[in-house]
Chains A and B, each alone.
Chain A
Amino acid sequence: MSDRRPELKRLDENRWQISPVGGMRVPGIIYSSETLMKQMGADESPIQVANVGHLPGIVKYSLAMPDMHWGYGFPIGGVAAFSMDEGVISPGGVGYDINCGCRLMTSRLHIDHIRDHLKTLIMALFQNIPSGVGSRGVLKLSEKEEKKVLAEGSAWAVARGFGTAADIEATEDGGKMPGADPEKVSARALERGRDQLGTLGSGNHFLEIEVVEEIYDEPAAQAFGLELGQVAVMIHSGSRGLGYQVCDDYLARMVKHIGELGVALPDRQLACAYVSSERGKDYLAAMACAANYAWANRQLLMHRTREIFEKTLGMGPKETGMRLFYDICHNIAKIETFPLEGRLVKLCVHRKGATRAFPPGHASVPASYRAVGQPVLIPGDMGTGSYIMAGTQKAYEETFGSTCHGAGRVMSRTQAMKAGRGRSIAREMADKGIIVMASGKGTISEEMPDAYKDLDAVVDVVHKAGISKKVARLRALGCIKG
């Protein structure tokens, strides 16, 4: 294993290359800017980009987006595609929080409609949406019902009145990943998932009320139904304890058989199985279950949010007009088709802290957005707001249809706690007009804006590199955290 930082060669304004050395099969490519690269300091993520390049069947290069930082195994912000015949699937390349992702709800409400109710809204959301460590939901699922959630995803929630068919249309993959087999999910994972559906979780997960503050691309914004002053809600959550357990179970299983790969891996956390092997297929079937659980979870969180808005504002659904704009996952492996050497090839694409960014005209993009490209949601750190971008043809050809997923940490949680000592981050946010409520005592300090890279700088890189384009920016008004 190499623990030395690899040599980085600048390719152009927004790309750095790691040339293949030692056991690397392909080069590494990092999308970044000079400032972001400097800020990274001694962060070990470039070593991880190089390590991913060792994996069997990796196609073209090991990629990293500008929000990249030191993860475990894969870097966070990493993208890698593998051949279906000779390539691998790696649970560590997906992450513990399988289908961690974002959904954005837009509305007919203008900021003036809610300005005076903002505090009441945030309080009501905080009181009614279970959040924090090990939080339990209102629903207690039987094992039979839980397996239906795993097989059906968002559709399970909609069939039970928690949403509409339009919500499914606006979710990546229609909120249901094909190939899910609940029998491949362990008893432990099922147990952990039984009472956590409809809960936000802890750490960097949040629910934020935002307002459209700036529009960069008027025709795209129009096609997306966005306008200045419009109120929106961003939800960031994932598959909760069930997803962590699925990753943990399969990672341990793959570590146990690591010798059978016939290849030395630079890090045990990169343990993997051939996509075509039984172990690989089993993981994909279990991972799809966790992905579906996450979609059902975000669907429930969103539905509850809609109800709370209606009740608090004393309005009906027609007046609030709260609809799902789009839902994307940013911790996932997908079987997708890409152009490769003049033909279309099926590949297994890992996005670990990276977002899909499919181009205009792609069949996977909802019909109403198809002329513009897939909506890409880039949440910022607490209280910063978010970007809405659109996928591009260049991303499809160059990054396996992928772009960045957020701001990306620069400070560790302990550094953030130290930096926050003696300060009231909640008060600092309130001074900026942003209401923040959190369940965990240390959460607000750990998640302080200073702990993250500059979101504008990250988004500028992917925009300039052409792997997604800026459509609009949203400002945060209030936020609840776990």
Chain B
Amino acid sequence: MKKYRIFDHTADLGIEVRGVSLADLFDNAVSAVADMTADRERVKAQEIRVIRAEGSDREDLWVNFLREVLYAVNGERFLIAECHIKEIDDTHVAAEVRGEPLDPLRHEIKKELKAVTYHQASIKQDAHGLRGRVILDV
């Protein structure tokens, strides 16, 4: 099964992510953001950053975590190559991401993801594991 897929939303973009565990789900969501923003093969895993987030429940944590990931890319211009979830429960997450600062000579931002929205953000369990959905403003 694919780790994530893009689903249609009239004005924006949705991503549906799969994971066998919560850590796997969050890890795959970072992959989706990393792939959508840059050509990941060109991003070197040379710097480590820790991204932390909190939430009142799983859905809130899901959105807050992705907001932090997006800030690393848009705000700090840090492109992500890899992600490892170090700690996670329903209200806290700590992820170690490896990547490098955006170098306009080597990298191209493929798509501007303006923001992560709370609209229809969900995490559900089905026969295949966990399925998380989120809509991004583009």
Q: Which A residues fall within an 8 A CB radius of B? A: 43, 45, 69-73, 76, 92, 95-97, 133-134, 188, 191-192, 201-203, 241, 244-245, 247-248, 251-252, 255-256, 267-269, 271, 409-415, 440-442, 482
Residues of B contacting A271 in the complex (Cβ-Cβ under 8 angstroms): 118
Indicate the member of B74, B110, B121 with the most A CB atoms within 10 Å.
Answer: B74
A414–B110 Cα distance when bound, in Å, is 14
Q: List 27 A-B contacts (CB under 8 A).
A: A45-B10, A69-B10, A69-B11, A71-B11, A72-B135, A92-B117, A97-B114, A134-B102, A134-B109, A191-B75, A192-B74, A241-B75, A244-B115, A248-B116, A252-B67, A255-B118, A267-B118, A268-B118, A268-B119, A268-B121, A269-B119, A412-B8, A412-B9, A413-B12, A413-B13, A415-B8, A440-B110
Interface contact A241-B10, CB-CB below 8 Å = no
Q: Which B residues fall within an 8 A CB radius of A? A: 6, 8-13, 56, 59-60, 63-64, 67, 71, 74-75, 77, 102, 109-112, 114-121, 135, 137-138
Q: A477 to chain B: closest CB distance in Å?
A: 27
Partner of B75, one of A71, A97, A192, A247: A192
* Residue of B with least CB distance to A188: B75
A45–B77 Cα distance when bound, in Å, is 34
* Residue of B with least CB distance to A95: B137
| With known contacts A269-B119, A413-B138, A244–B114 Cβ distance under 8 A | yes
Interface contact B9-A73, CB-CB below 8 Å = no
A71–B71 Cα distance when bound, in Å, is 22
Residues of A contacting B115 in the complex (Cβ-Cβ under 8 angstroms): 96, 244, 247-248
A268–B47 Cα distance when bound, in Å, is 35
A293–B3 Cα distance when bound, in Å, is 39
Partner of A133, one of B56, B112, B135: B112
Indicate the member of B11, B63, B74, B138 with the most A CB atoms within 10 Å.
Answer: B11
Interface contact A409-B10, CB-CB below 8 Å = yes
Residues of B contacting A256 in the complex (Cβ-Cβ under 8 angstroms): 56
Known contacts A70-B11, A92-B118, A412-B13; 8 additional CB pairs below 8 A are A71-B11, A92-B117, A96-B115, A133-B112, A244-B137, A248-B115, A412-B8, A442-B111
A414–B138 Cα distance when bound, in Å, is 12
Interface contact B74-A414, CB-CB below 8 Å = no
| With known contacts A71-B11, A134-B77, A241-B74, A414–B118 Cβ distance under 8 A | no
Q: B31 to chain A: closest CB distance in Å?
A: 18
Residues of A contacting B114 in the complex (Cβ-Cβ under 8 angstroms): 96-97, 244
Interface contact B8-A133, CB-CB below 8 Å = no
Interface contact B119-A267, CB-CB below 8 Å = yes
Interface contact B119-A409, CB-CB below 8 Å = no
Residues of B contacting A415 in the complex (Cβ-Cβ under 8 angstroms): 8
A245–B75 Cα distance when bound, in Å, is 9
Q: B107 to chain A: closest CB distance in Å?
A: 10
Indicate the member of A188, A269, A409 with the most B CB atoms within 10 Å.
Answer: A269
* Residue of A with least CB distance to B64: A252
Interface contact B112-A269, CB-CB below 8 Å = no
Q: A256 to chain B: closest CB distance in Å?
A: 7
Q: A382 to chain B: closest CB distance in Å?
A: 15
Residues of B contacting A245 in the complex (Cβ-Cβ under 8 angstroms): 71, 75
- Cβ-closest 7 pairs across A and B: A72-B119, A268-B118, A72-B117, A269-B119, A412-B8, A133-B109, A133-B112
* Residue of A with least CB distance to B73: A134
Interface contact B67-A202, CB-CB below 8 Å = no
Partner of B138, one of A92, A203, A252: A203
Residues of B contacting A201 in the complex (Cβ-Cβ under 8 angstroms): 112
Residues of B contacting A413 in the complex (Cβ-Cβ under 8 angstroms): 12-13, 138
* Residue of A with least CB distance to B13: A413
Interface contact B60-A255, CB-CB below 8 Å = yes
| With known contacts A72-B12, A255-B60, A256-B56, A414–B6 Cβ distance under 8 A | yes
Residues of A contacting B9 in the complex (Cβ-Cβ under 8 angstroms): 70, 412
Q: A410 to chain B: closest CB distance in Å?
A: 7
Q: A95 to chain B: closest CB distance in Å?
A: 8
A203–B135 Cα distance when bound, in Å, is 16
A134–B11 Cα distance when bound, in Å, is 20
* Residue of A with least CB distance to B135: A72
Interface contact A134-B10, CB-CB below 8 Å = no
A76–B110 Cα distance when bound, in Å, is 25
A429–B135 Cα distance when bound, in Å, is 31
A409–B137 Cα distance when bound, in Å, is 14
Residues of B contacting A410 in the complex (Cβ-Cβ under 8 angstroms): 10
Interface contact B119-A73, CB-CB below 8 Å = yes
Q: A55 to chain B: closest CB distance in Å?
A: 15
